Structure 1
Amino acid sequence: MEINTGNLRTLGTGFSAAFRGGLGMAPPQHLEIASVVPSSTGKNEYGWLNQVRGMREWLGDRVLNQITQSDYTIKNKDWEDTIEVERNDIEDDNLGQYGMLFTEMGRAAAAHPCELVFALMKAGFSTPCYDGQYYFDTDHPVLDEKGAVTSVANTDGGVGAPWFLIDVSRVLKPIIFQERKKVQFITKDNPNDENVFWRKKFVYGADARYNVGFGFWQFAWGSKQPLTAANYAAARAALMGMKGDYGRPLGLLTGAKPLLLCAPSLESAALKIVNNELGADGETNEWKDTARVLPSAWLA
Structure 2
Amino acid sequence: MLVGCPVRPAVAAALRLTHPRGVAHWIHDGNPSGKRVLQQRLVNSETLALAFKGFKTVYSEAWLDAPSHGEKIAMTIPSASRDETYGWLGMFPQLREWIGQRQVNSLKAHGFTITNRKFESTVSVKRDDVSDDRLGVFKPFVSEMGVSAKRHPDELIFGLLKAGFDTPCFDGTSFFSGNHPVEIDGKRQATSNFQAGTDPAWFLLDTSRAVRPIIFQKREDYEFQSLDDSNSPHVFLNDEYLYGVRARVNAGFGLWQPGFGAKAPLNEENYAAARAAMMGFKSDGGRLLGVSPSVLIVPPQLESARLHLLNTEIKDGGGSNPWKGTAELIVTPYVAA
What's the TM-score bracket when you normalise by the shorter of the two chains? over 0.9
| AA in 1 matched with 2:274 | A
> Paired residue for 2:204?
165
| AA in 2 matched with 1:71 | G
| AA in 1 matched with 2:204 | L
> Paired residue for 1:295?
331
CA contact (8 A) 2:69 2:330 kept: no
| AA in 1 matched with 2:324 | K
Deviation at 1:23, TM superposition (A): 1.2
> Paired residue for 1:276?
312
| AA in 1 matched with 2:65 | M
Query: C-alpha distance in 2, partners of 1:12/1:66?
Result: 51
Query: C-alpha distance in 1, partners of 2:327/2:304?
Result: 14
Percent identity over the alignment is: 41
**SS in structure 2 of the partner of residue 137 of structure 1:** coil
Using the size of structure 2 for normalisation, the TM-score is 0.85
> Paired residue for 1:39?
79
**SS in structure 1 of the partner of residue 244 of structure 2:** strand
> Number of aligned pairs?
296
Alignment of 1:192-231 (within 5 A): 192-231=231-270
Q: RMSD in angstroms over aligned alpha carbons?
A: 1.3
Gaps of 5+ in 2: 1-40
Alignment of 1:116-155 (within 5 A): 116-144=156-184, 146-155=185-194
> Paired residue for 1:89?
129
Are residue 267 (structure 1) and residue 306 (structure 2) matched? Answer: no
Query: C-alpha distance in 2, partners of 1:4/1:213?
Result: 45
CA contact (8 A) 1:178 1:210 kept: yes
**SS in structure 2 of the partner of residue 7 of structure 1:** helix
CA contact (8 A) 1:38 1:179 kept: yes
Query: C-alpha distance in 1, partners of 2:128/2:320?
Result: 69
| AA in 1 matched with 2:262 | S
CA contact (8 A) 2:228 2:242 kept: yes
**SS in structure 1 of the partner of residue 196 of structure 2:** strand
Comparing 168-177 and 133-142, the one that deviates more: 168-177
**SS in structure 2 of the partner of residue 2 of structure 1:** coil
Query: C-alpha distance in 2, partners of 1:293/1:218?
Result: 20
Structure with bigger gyration radius: 2
Comparing 271-280 and 105-114, the one that deviates more: 271-280
CA contact (8 A) 2:158 2:335 kept: yes
**Residue in structure 1 matching 2:278, options 235, 239, 250:** 239
Gaps of 5+ in 1: none
CA contact (8 A) 1:147 1:245 kept: no
Deviations 1:182-224 (A, max 9, x none): 1111111011111111111111111111110011100011101
**SS in structure 1 of the partner of residue 249 of structure 2:** strand
| AA in 1 matched with 2:162 | K
- Deviating 4+ runs (over 6 angstroms): none
Query: C-alpha distance in 2, partners of 1:297/1:229?
Result: 23
| AA in 1 matched with 2:327 | A
Deviations 1:236-276 (A, max 9, x none): 110111111111001111xxx61111111111111211222
Using the size of structure 1 for normalisation, the TM-score is 0.95
Are residue 108 (structure 1) and residue 108 (structure 2) matched? Answer: no
Query: C-alpha distance in 2, partners of 1:28/1:275?
Result: 22
Query: C-alpha distance in 1, partners of 2:145/2:307?
Result: 34
| AA in 2 matched with 1:65 | N
Deviation at 1:280, TM superposition (A): 1.7
Deviations 1:113-166 (A, max 9, x none): 01110100111011111111100000001011x121110000012222111111
> Paired residue for 2:106?
66
